[in-house]
Amino acid sequence: MSFDLQHNRRLFYWLCQISGWCAYIAINQVITVTASRFTWRMFFIDLYLGVLGLGLTHVYRYIIATRKWIELSYKEIIFRILFSSFFLAALIIGLLFSIMFFNNMIPVNVNITGSVTVNLFYAFFVIIIWSLLYFGFHYLENYRTSEIEKLVWEAAVKDFELKTLKSQLNPHFMFNAMNSIRALIEEDPERAKTAITQLSNIFRYSLRIERVETVPLEDEIKVIEDYLALELVRYEERLKYSITIAPDTRSIEIPPMMLQTLVENGIKHGVAKMPAGGEITLTAFAKDNALTIIITNHGVLNEDDVKNAKGFGLANTKQRLHLLYGSRAQFNLSNENDKVVVKIIIPTGEAIC
């Protein structure tokens, strides 16, 4: 794999190098023909310049790679590019005019100083363009590599955060559920058996969510029903609840244990603190390509909790929604009369992670 990549990079380099200098020769010939100054001597001079330029820039590339110029700062690279381009241009033109001088190829009426200056500037410009293309390609390649590495890192961090959030939920829920059935063991054995079955369903569900990021809404509702049935053992007539789920929402995917946590919070921080108890309601419906879930419970949250959605696992829920859906998901917490209202809107498309 690495050999093929290295081979393809080398092949691409030589393809660009040869085609680029062939284009240089062709452009010079077009200029010569356009100016009606074509001679075979001019053709061989341009051919010589192209071959010399190809060879010297290949050596230039070797120096860049071995000296690791790509890793230097912009100021250091700019200085090296300017110096190297001028040196290579001077070397090319110096060799060219030396050969022409010793072979008596310089016309008598030619201003040598002016001709050398013009050709030196032209060669310097060509090497500068070569340098910019070479460094530009490598910076673009490095940028793409760093972006891929960044995305891989972010995905790994996001996956770790989701697993951490789920691990925070599971023990908290399990201990509360076991406390709910403790009193049944001697008082009502048959009901205790049913409660144990419900608890086993919850354990099975908790094992499943370790391997998935989302579950169908109907699976989450079954766990909530088992949980509420267990809580009835503790609170008896103090706890009332109702669940209303639109049929077309049952297969919509949501984060596991999210709704159960909110229902649990409603009981623990609302209904349980009221002498007369209270009611938990959960409603879900689909509208405008989104799933809307509304959970209410009797009780009152302070203004800081309403404003910032902090505490009681609410920050946990907001973070999970953000990790899975980004800004497309909405979470709202409010006080309405004597009830706490949680409203969640989840897009029905796929999660972003």
What confidence tier does 165 reach under pLDDT thresholds 50, 70, 90? low
Asked if 93 contacts 119 with a C-beta cutoff of 8 angstroms, the reply is: yes
Whether residues 85 and 201 fall in one domain: no
Last residue of a domain, one of 135, 153, 171: 153
- Please indicate, yes or no, whether residues 145 and 294 belong to a single structural domain of this protein: no
Distances (CA, A) of 241 to 37, 219, 227, 278, 298: 96, 18, 11, 8, 11
pLDDT of residue 178: 75
Q: Which domain holds residue 133?
A: 2-153
One domain for residues 133 and 34: yes
Task: Give which of 291, 350, 342 is closest to 325, Cα–Cα.
Answer: 350
The β-bridge relationship of strands 253-254 and 215-216 is: antiparallel
Q: Would you say residue 139 lies in a domain?
A: yes
Same domain for 121 and 205, yes or no, is no
| pLDDT above 50 for 31 | yes
Q: Tell me the three state secondary structure of residue 277.
A: coil
What pLDDT sits at residue 5?
A: 47
Q: Check whether residue 199 and residue 52 sit in a common domain.
A: no
Q: Tell me, yes or no, whether 59 lies in a domain.
A: yes
Whether residue 315 has pLDDT greater than 90: no
Domain total of the chain: 2
Model confidence band, residue 102 (pLDDT cutoffs 50, 70, 90): low
Say whether both 138 and 227 belong to one domain: no
Two tokens, residue 296: 């209410």
Which of 263 and 349 is assigned the larger pLDDT? 263
Q: Which of 274, 257, 249 is nearest to 345 (CA)?
A: 249
Give the ranges where 182-312 is alpha helix by DSSP (H). Answer: 184-187, 189-208, 217-235, 258-269, 303-308
Same domain, 140 and 196: no
204 in the same domain as 73: no
Environment class of 319 (CB within 10 Å of its CB; exposed 0-12, middle 13-18, buried 19+): middle
Q: Pick the more confident residue, 269 or 2.
A: 269
CB within 8 Å of 113: residues ≥ 6 apart: none
Strand partners, 292: 285, 345
Mean pLDDT of 304-312: 53
d(CA 313, CA 316): 5
Is 168 part of a structural domain of the chain? no
DSSP-based three-state secondary structure for 320: helix
- 202 and 308 assigned to the same domain: yes
DSSP-derived letter for residue 72 is S
Phi and psi for 334 in degrees, rounded to 5?
Answer: -150, 160
Reported confidence tier of residue 240, pLDDT bands at 50, 70, 90: very high
> What is the domain-level CATH number for residue 306?
3.30.565.10
What's the whole-number mean pLDDT along residues 245-249?
94
Residues 141 and 219 in one domain: no
In a domain, 159, yes or no: no
Residues 235 and 277 in one domain: yes
- How far apart, in whole angstroms, are the C-alpha atoms of residue 174 and residue 227? 10
pTM for the model stands at 0.54
| Domain boundary pick from 133, 153, 173 | 153
285 in the same domain as 142:
no
pLDDT by residue (tens digit) across 204-216?
887 777 677 788 9
Reported confidence tier of residue 1, pLDDT bands at 50, 70, 90: very low
> Tens digit of pLDDT for each residue in 109-160?
656 677 778 878 888 888 898 988 888 887 887 777 777 766 665 665 566 5
249-275 as b/e: b if 16+ CB within 10 A: beebbbbbbbbbbbbbbbbbbbbbeee
Pick from 116, 136, 153: which residue ends a domain?
153
